[in-house]
Structure 1
Amino acid sequence: MTSLAQSVIARALKQRDLLQSMTEQSKTITARVTSRDRAVSAEVDGLGQLTGLWLGPPATRLDPDALATLIVDTAQAAARVAAERYSFLLKEFTERMAELQKAPLVRSDGTIVEPEYRRECAEERARG
């Protein structure tokens, strides 16, 4: 196998590992939010799906409509937090994947092969 092929395979393995890490980390995202009055706590997963709901003593003093609204608002707040966490993770993943894509490949004679789009970006900047 040529060293260029080895470079391509090494990059692909790093990309695979990064993708697996992203997948594993995204599965661990959770967020729990408690209402200011401590009547409701809601927990969601990384997709914003409700995984837990707790009602505190103040919940007994709320009428059904107010309690329902508070539950929905609290769950939505938890979903926003989870979405922010996922967004941060996705940004990190995207940056790392881009760095892997930009990394030059090395041939057996030591010459460097740059990815095509990297060359195009450099040419575009030069015309700029």
Structure 2
Amino acid sequence: MSEAMDALEARVHRQLNMMRDLGDRLAGIRVRETSPDGAVTAEVDGNGSLCDLVFTEAISKLSPSEFESVVVATAGRAAHLAIARRGDLVGAFNAELAESMPGGEPGH
């Protein structure tokens, strides 16, 4: 019985460490994307939330509607990449978690 409890405790600790590592990796996601004309750079986090927005002098050549389009498109591309990176991390976590379960599958 003690051996089984030791094995269970070790597995739980490994899984807890995996979860902490995932949390750290997710919190560390930052994606910067620059518009093709170099006018706008957007940085987003792993939730797709805007963290930073930088403009160059190139924005002076844009109309208000062009400026709006460039900001939205650039931030949107950054958010898309960040969410994809987040999905990759969660997918890798799920695969690793499944392998750590008895029988190699969740619930077994």
TM-score (norm 1): 0.79
Q: How far, CA to CA, are the matches of 1:23 and 1:73 in structure 2?
A: 28
1:97 maps onto 2:97 in alignment: yes
Task: Give the CA RMSD over aligned residues.
Answer: 1.8
User: For residue 53 of structure 1, what is the aligned residue in structure 2?
Assistant: 53
Q: CA deviation at 1:79?
A: 0.2
Q: How many pairs align? A: 108
User: For residue 76 of structure 1, what is the aligned residue in structure 2?
Assistant: 76
Is the alpha carbon distance of 1:61 and 1:8 closer, same or farther for their aligned partners in structure 2, counting shifts above 3 Å?
A: same
Q: How far, CA to CA, are the matches of 2:48 and 2:27 in structure 1?
A: 12
User: For residue 36 of structure 2, what is the aligned residue in structure 1?
Assistant: 36
Identity %: 30
Larger radius of gyration: 1
Q: How far, CA to CA, are the matches of 2:106 and 2:103 in structure 1?
A: 11
Q: CA deviation at 1:72?
A: 0.6
Q: How far, CA to CA, are the matches of 2:90 and 2:61 in structure 1?
A: 41
AA at the equivalent of 1:78: A
More displaced stretch, 1-10 vs 43-52: 1-10
AA at the equivalent of 1:95: A
Q: Which structure 2 residue ranges, 5 or more long, are not aligned?
A: none
Q: How far, CA to CA, are the matches of 1:14 and 1:93 in structure 2?
A: 12
Q: CA deviation at 1:62?
A: 0.4
AA at the equivalent of 1:91: G
AA at the equivalent of 2:11: R
Secondary structure, in 3 states, of the residue corresponding to 1:47? coil
Q: Which structure 1 residue ranges, 5 or more long, are not aligned?
A: 105-114, 119-128
Secondary structure, in 3 states, of the residue corresponding to 1:95? helix
